[in-house]
Amino acid sequence: MAQFPAPMLTGNNYGIWKVKMETLLLSQGLWDIIENGYTTYATGHQLKEEEKKQLKEDKMKDARALFLIQQGVAENIFSCIINATKSKDAWDMLQQEFKGSAKVQVVKLQTLRRQYQNMQMKDSAKVKEYFSQVMDLVNQMRSLGDKDITEQKLVEKMLISLPESFDSIVTAIEESKDLETLPIQQLISSLEAHEERKLLRV
């Protein structure tokens, strides 16, 4: 089975890392072992041949999943899972460490929402860079359970947080487009085209 580089958990990117790692584990047929673990047997239990075969397969899958998780954490985080002997244990330890309890998640989400509301693009920034920052924050919020940021809200956020030098294109877009159906990528393309035209005039 082909192996792909594991996404790297550095400490402040857990939400994005979790989504990427889950997809990687799914693609390798290993997610079920993370989600459900596997059946073990009490000491002294006489295993049937079928049980022996299944247990051996499960242990191999679990070892592959644990290896991918270990490969996907920075060295300074590895100590969090160094004692985990099963992939499910390692996954749960990281979730507890970085996602936290429900109360902690609420506090984190409130902080991220404030950051999102206060975001403004600086005159020196590029549209692509700013949009990337906005989406990074949105993805963190979504990973904590915020499902309220629709594509329409993203479009509105971009338009109201641009610097004054974009006023003319913002007005043109608002007058000529239906913001309820305007795809965010189409908006970004229009803003980048405006940005390039500004640079040509300099």
- pLDDT tens track, the chain, 202 positions: 446 688 999 877 887 898 899 999 999 999 999 998 888 877 777 878 888 898 899 999 999 999 999 999 999 999 999 999 999 999 999 988 887 766 777 888 899 999 999 999 999 999 999 999 999 899 888 878 888 899 999 999 999 999 999 999 999 999 999 999 999 999 999 999 999 988 887 5
**Pair 127, 112 in one domain:** yes
Which amino acid is present at 158? M
Indicate whether 36 and 112 sit together in one domain: no
Q: Model pTM?
A: 0.60
Q: What's residue 125's pLDDT?
A: 93
Q: Domain containing 64: what range? A: 14-98
Number of H helices, E strands in the chain: 10, 0
Instruction: Say yes or no: 136 and 197 in one domain.
Output: yes
Both tokens of 123, joined, read: 């005159």
Q: Which two tokens stand for residue 117?
A: 């509301």
Does residue 4 lie in a domain region? no
Six-digit token pair at 144?
């904590």
In terms of domains, do 196 and 115 share one? yes
- Domain boundary among the residues 98, 127, 153 is at 98
- Which residue type, as a one-letter code, is found at position 25? L
CA distance linking residue 100 with residue 122, whole number of Å: 33
Residue 106 in domain: yes
